Amino acid sequence: MDTIEAIKQQIESNPIILYMKGSPNQPQCGFSARTSQAVMACGERFAFVDVLANPEIRAKLPEYANWPTFPQLWVNGELIGGCDIVCEMHESGELQTLIKEVAAAQPADK
C-alpha cells in the first residue's frame, strides 16, 4: 500500500484523527500540544498519528490535504484545520459540539 492509500485508509477508518508531532501525552511541538489539548478537552476518544515517527506520512499528507503544516485534525473524512482553527473552534464551543456529534454517531464497539 502506498503512503497516500495508507493516509486515505487512516482517515476513512477513524472518525476523529489528529496528525501531529509526537503524541497527545508527549507532544513534540507547541502547536501539536495546543491542538491535542483542545481535542482531549472534548472528552472523546480519537486516533492520532505521530508524523515524526512516520516520515512518509509527514512528507505526503500536506500534498494530499493541500494543507502545508502540522498538526492536522480530520473529522469524518474532512480536514478541519490546524492549531489556530482548532483552538478557535475550541474556545467558541464549536469543536466540542462537532466531536461529541461524531462520537455519538459511532457504534459502541469503536
CA dihedral defined by 40, 32, 27, 60, rounded to 10 degrees?
120
Rounded to two decimals, the pTM is 0.95
Eight-state DSSP code of residue 71: -
Q: Are strands 16-20 and 47-50 parallel, antiparallel or unpaired?
A: parallel
Per-residue pLDDT tens over the stretch 32-91: 999 999 999 999 999 999 999 999 999 999 999 999 999 999 999 999 999 999 999 999
What domains sit in the chain, N to C, each tagged with a CATH number? Answer: 3-99 (3.40.30.10)
